[in-house]
Structure formats: structure tokens, C-alpha cells
């Protein structure tokens, strides 16, 4: 494996953009459906648990820097379980990639290019991701240095110009949601923080392993802040009921706001910035999967692995999930109920077993 090096700053940005890249698309709607105006509660819980989860992941990543993820897992939990965990992680990362692409392509079909066939958009996204990821994680990181601040600035601009239209009383009445829905909402938020698993896969690329935990914690907090602010401002503008019916709340907000009298629409600019963010996210997921496949199968031809994984992703994106209804159903049902607990449990279990084994050895 080529040892590429990322600075802690680049690593932080990559992780933050991976976590928040698609969360801002429709998480506010999901939370508004589940918890109404109380959406800030599952957000706070989900982000807090996300930070704790990221601590586990960064701890594992810090220890896997020298050996690589596969060897580390085999050493930690044995060959069979090690491969099983790798399979779970790889499947999860592939699923996130597939879901993200379908979500974004549906958004573009709705907002900008309704007559374009979805396969063309998915193919375009896949090829763009492939070309970004082709030159390795360092290339992606350098791209992120341009993309991430732009995404952040775009969000800040949206926040500032939407202030006159916001109604903070839309957060009232407080604490009206059933506990079950708060939990479901929290798990829906936690879904996105499982994406910090890319840190584990890409740990070999960081320049200074000692800074992993700090970088990941900072990334998770930045992502949490982005997710929280985007959800809260959409709640303040639309109110919980209206928010629950909007497939792309932040996009609707961007469509509503205007900068002074002569810039009526800022959405085309914002969408293009977000798309760049999603491509970076997809590239990070692709490179994480490449690392796993290379380590498991010992394949040295990175190009073939990348193309193979991209093809699998493209086929799955085209066939697996197609409608927004299906995506929402996943986001509110299957993922929070089954997938998130599994991914969190597996990560914590690996961490705990590793600790126990090390304790016995010493």
C-alpha cells in the first residue's frame, strides 16, 4: 500500500465533509416527521453519541496505523470475526455510498434536470468520483481544502441571509414528543456518524497518528454543528409541520432566501457547491473500500479495484433504492432500528475485546 500522508487539518476536513455531506439533504425532514419541533433533542443526543462513537473509532484507528485495518482486526478478534467485521464495515460503507448517490441524483432530478435519465446522473457521479479518487487520498484531501471551506461559507451565508425570515418560536412547545420517537430520531442522526468509520480504513494515510483522536473529534463536532444548524434554521423557517413534508428542506430554504433585491436565486450556486462536497464524500468512501479490499485480498492493482467497486456501486444505486419514499423509509425504519445498533455494537465490541486481550497479555 502506498503510504500517502494527510495533515491533521486535511484529515479533519475529509471526515467532517464525509459525515455531513448528505446529512443536510433530508435529515431535517426525517427528524421533523419523527419528533416535530423537538428535533433539536434527537440532534443533541445523536451528536453526543456520535462524538463518543468517533472516540472509539479514532482509538481503533490510532492503533491500526502501523498494521493496517485488516491485520489489526484479525489480531484483535481473530481471523473469522476479523473478516466478518471487515465485511460488515465494507458493506456499510458501500451502502452509504449507494444511498448518498441515489439521494443526490434524486435531488438533482427534482431541482435541476428533471428530464435527464437517472442512470446518466448516476454514471456521471460515479465517473467523477472515480476521477477524483484516482490520484489517491492526498488528491482528494487537496480538493477538500478548496471544497470544504466553500461549503462552510455557503452555509454561513445562507444562515445569515435567512435570519430575517426565521421564527425561533417554531421550536415551541418544548418536550412534546414521545420517548420512542426521540430514540428513533437520535438513531437516525447517529446513522451519519457511523461514517466516521472511514477514519479506521484510512488511518494509514495520516501523517501524525497521535493526532487522530483530536482530528476525528474536531471533525465530528464540525459535522454536528453543520447538521444541527441546517436542521434548526429549516425548522425556524418552515415550522415542524411544513418541514416534515419537504423532501429537501435546506434546498427549499435556499430557494426561498435572496440576497438583497437583485440576487433572487442563489440555489444553483449552492447546489454546485454541495455537489462538490458529495463527490468528495463519495471519493473518501471509495478509497476506504479500496483499502479494505486491497488488504483483504492482497490485490495491488488499485485501478482495477476502484473500477470494480465503482461499477458495483453504480449498479446498486440504479437498482437498490429508487424513490425518495424508499430512502425515507430506510432513514426512519431499517437504518436506525437495525443497521446503526449493529455498526455501533460491532465497533464497541472490537474495541472492548482488544482492550481485554491486551489486558490479559500484560
Partner 1 sequence: MTARRVVIALCLALVMVNSGCWDRREIESLAFVAAVGLDKAEDGQIEVSVQLINPSALGQTSEGNAGSSLSVWVVSFRGRDVMEAVRGIVTLTGKRLHWAHNLLVVFGEELARSGIKPYVDWFRREYEPPLRAWVLTTPGTAKEIIAARHPMVQIPAQVIARMVEVQASVGAAPQVDLLQLVQSLRGSTGQVTGAIRVIPSNLPKSSPSSENLQLFAAAVYGGGRLLGYLTPIETRGLLWLTPTPVRPIVVLPQGKENEREIAVEIVQFHARMIPRVNDSSQARIQVEIEVTGNVGEVTSNQEVDSESILRRLEERTAAVIRYQAERALDAAQNRYRVDIFGVSDVLRKREPEYWTSVEDRWNDAFTALHFDLNVNAKIRLTGLITNPLP
Q: For binding to partner 1 (CB under 8 A), which residues are involved?
A: 110-117, 120, 123-124, 127-128, 130-131, 134, 169-170, 172-173, 176, 238-239, 241-242, 252, 255-256, 258, 264-265, 301, 303-304, 306-307
Strands (E), 15-171: none
114 vs 359 by CB, closer to partner 1: 114
Closest separation between CB of residue 341 and partner 1, Å?
Answer: 32
116 vs 345 by CB, closer to partner 1: 116
Instruction: Please give the full DSSP string across 215-276, using - where no structure is assigned.
Output: HHHHHHHHHHHHHHHHHHHHHHHHHHHHHTT-SSHHHHHHHH--BTTTB---HHHHHHHHHH
33 vs 206 by CB, closer to partner 1: 33
170 vs 288 by CB, closer to partner 1: 170
265 vs 358 by CB, closer to partner 1: 265
353's CB contacts (< 8 A; 6+ apart) are 76, 77
299 vs 356 by CB, closer to partner 1: 299
CA-to-CA separations, 341 to 83, 139, 183, 192, 223, in angstroms, rounded = 19, 33, 12, 13, 20
Closest separation between CB of residue 288 and partner 1, Å?
Answer: 19
CA-angle at 168, arms to 164 and 170, nearest 5° = 120
Neighbours of 288 (CB within 10 A): 26
134 vs 351 by CB, closer to partner 1: 134
Closest separation between CB of residue 189 and partner 1, Å?
Answer: 24
40 vs 351 by CB, closer to partner 1: 40
CA-to-CA separations, 320 to 98, 147, 312, 333, in angstroms, rounded = 8, 29, 11, 16
Closest separation between CB of residue 68 and partner 1, Å?
Answer: 23
261 alpha-carbon distance from chain centroid:
35
173 upstream amide cis, omega within 30 of 0: yes
Own/partner contacts of 328-333, CB < 8 Å, gap of 24 or more, are 328/26, 328/29, 328/30, 328/33, 330/99, 331/26, 331/27, 331/30, 331/188, 331/191, 332/30, 332/33, 332/34, 332/184, 332/188
Closest separation between CB of residue 224 and partner 1, Å?
Answer: 26
245 vs 337 by CB, closer to partner 1: 245
Closest separation between CB of residue 102 and partner 1, Å?
Answer: 18
Closest separation between CB of residue 76 and partner 1, Å?
Answer: 33
Closest separation between CB of residue 239 and partner 1, Å?
Answer: 6
Closest separation between CB of residue 347 and partner 1, Å?
Answer: 33
| C-beta separation of 19 from 277 below 8 A | no
Closest separation between CB of residue 242 and partner 1, Å?
Answer: 6
66 vs 264 by CB, closer to partner 1: 264
| C-beta separation of 160 from 29 below 8 A | no
CA distance 128 to 140: 12
| C-beta separation of 196 from 53 below 8 A | yes
CA distance 18 to 27: 15
Amino acid at each position: 500500500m502506498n503510504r500517502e500522508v494527510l495533515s491533521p487539518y486535511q484529515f479533519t476536513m475529509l471526515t467532517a465533509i464525509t459525515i455531513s455531506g448528505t446529512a443536510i439533504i433530508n435529515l431535517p425532514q426525517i427528524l421533523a416527521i419523527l419528533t416535530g419541533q423537538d428535533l433539536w433533542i434527537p440532534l443533541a443526543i445523536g451528536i453526543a453519541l456520535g462524538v463518543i462513537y468517533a472516540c472509539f473509532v479514532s482509538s481503533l484507528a490510532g492503533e491500526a496505523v502501523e498494521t493496517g485495518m485488516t491485520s489489526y482486526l484479525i489480531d484483535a478478534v481473530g481471523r473469522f470475526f476479523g473478516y466478518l467485521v471487515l465485511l460488515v464495515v465494507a458493506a456499510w460503507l458501500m451502502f452509504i455510498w449507494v444511498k448518498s448517490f441515489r439521494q443526490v441524483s434524486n435531488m438533482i432530478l427534482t431541482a435541476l434536470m428533471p428530464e435527464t435519465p437517472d442512470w446518466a446522473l448516476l454514471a456521471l457521479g460515479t465517473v467523477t468520483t472515480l476521477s477524483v479518487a484516482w490520484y489517491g487520498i492526498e488528491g482528494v484531501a487537496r480538493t477538500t481544502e478548496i471544497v470544504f471551506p466553500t461549503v462552510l461559507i455557503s452555509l454561513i451565508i445562507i444562515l445569515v441571509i435567512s435570519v430575517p425570515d426565521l421564527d425561533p418560536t417554531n421550536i415551541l412547545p418544548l418536550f412534546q414528543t414521545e420517548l420512542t420517537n426521540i430514540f428513533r430520531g437520535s438513531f437516525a442522526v447517529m446513522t451519519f456518524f457511523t461514517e466516521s468509520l472511514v477514519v479506521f480504513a484510512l488511518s494509514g494515510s495520516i501523517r501524525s497518528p497521535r493526532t487522530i483522536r483530536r482530528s476525528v473529534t474536531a471533525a465530528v463536532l464540525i459535522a454536528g454543528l453543520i447538521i444541527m444548524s441546517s436542521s434548526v434554521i429549516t425548522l425556524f423557517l418552515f415550522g415542524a409541520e411544513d418541514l416534515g413534508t419537504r423532501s429537501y428542506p435546506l434546498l427549499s430554504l435556499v430557494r426561498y432566501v435572496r440576497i438583497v433585491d437583485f440576487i433572487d436565486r442563489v440555489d444553483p450556486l449552492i447546489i454546485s457547491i454541495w455537489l462538490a462536497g458529495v463527490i468528495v464524500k463519495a471519493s473518501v468512501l471509495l478509497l476506504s473500500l479500496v483499502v479494505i479490499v486491497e488488504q483483504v485480498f492482497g490485490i495491488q492493482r488499485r485501478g482495477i479495484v476502484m473500477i470494480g467497486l465503482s461499477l458495483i456501486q453504480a449498479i446498486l444505486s440504479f437498482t437498490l433504492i429508487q424513490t425518495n419514499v424508499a430512502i425515507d423509509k430506510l432513514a426512519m425504519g431499517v437504518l436506525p432500528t437495525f443497521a446503526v445498533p449493529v455498526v455501533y455494537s460491532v465497533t464497541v465490541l472490537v474495541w472492548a475485546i482488544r482492550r481485554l486481550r491486551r489486558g490479559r497479555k500484560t
